[in-house]
Amino acid sequence: WKKLYLAHHWPVTVCKMTANDCQDPPEYWTIHGLWPDKGEECNRTWHFNVTEIKDLMSDMRHYWPDVLHSSLNRTQFWKHEWEKHGTCAATLEILNSQKKYFGKALELYKHVDLNSCLLKAGIKPSSSYYQMTTIKEVLTRFYGVTPKIQCLPPEEGEKAQTIGQIEFCFTKGLQLRNCTALKGEPEPLQADMKFGTEELSVCSDSLPTYYPAEV
């Protein structure tokens, strides 16, 4: 693999996509995962062991909660992320254990600090719509790189898309880089955001964009 995606998702949109037991989703962007651009369960024998990340637990619960299942002691989501993506990322020495993988993802999340970037730019959950180009410009200006932004397409009879996920890309040296593919690079696998029949896709620049405050 060539690059890592740090995917943030907007809990309210995640809850909107599913009829699961979403209760009071956090009102800040949380981590969906840290994904190598290629890879799918690279080492099936390397099972998730929650005791390896017990020191990270309070941060994990806060910044990387299982939005769909509100009980705190659920580790299913982390297990899925580790087995599907972490075991692939582990070919990199700085990510080659569960503690390093989850710890580094938390570190990158805090470093990017997406929540305060959007707030500083006055982009906050609201019942009025944003232009996708405005959101992109803000992020590109702030970070100096182009992230990948995914939305829930408009439902029947709606005119607006709903913002759901913002992914930042990093080199293997963990430097921010553009998410657009460089020459000769494969296009990334589509994210595994499928809930029921709805799924996220790259946002359209021409549709009004909804950044919902509540489910």
Which residue type is seen at 13? Answer: T
- Look at phi and psi of residue 39 and say left if phi exceeds 0, alpha if psi is from -120 to 50, else beta: left
Q: Any catalytic annotation for residue 81?
A: yes
Q: Among 141, 143, 194, 140, which Cα is nearest to 165's?
A: 194
Q: Among 149, 97, 140, 94, which Cα is nearest to 121's?
A: 140
Q: Any catalytic annotation for residue 32?
A: yes
CA dist., res. 34 & res. 191, Å (int): 11
Q: Any catalytic annotation for residue 9?
A: no
Catalytic, out of 9, 81, 83, 167: 81
Catalytic, out of 85, 137, 187, 198: 85
Instruction: With beta carbons less than 8 A apart as the criterion, state whether 45 and 206 touch.
Output: no
Q: How far is CA 188 from CA 1, 24, 181, 185, in A?
A: 10, 32, 8, 9
CA dist., res. 83 & res. 40, Å (int): 8
Q: Please give the DSSP secondary-structure letter assigned to residue 203.
A: P
The residues carrying an active-site annotation are: 32, 81, 85
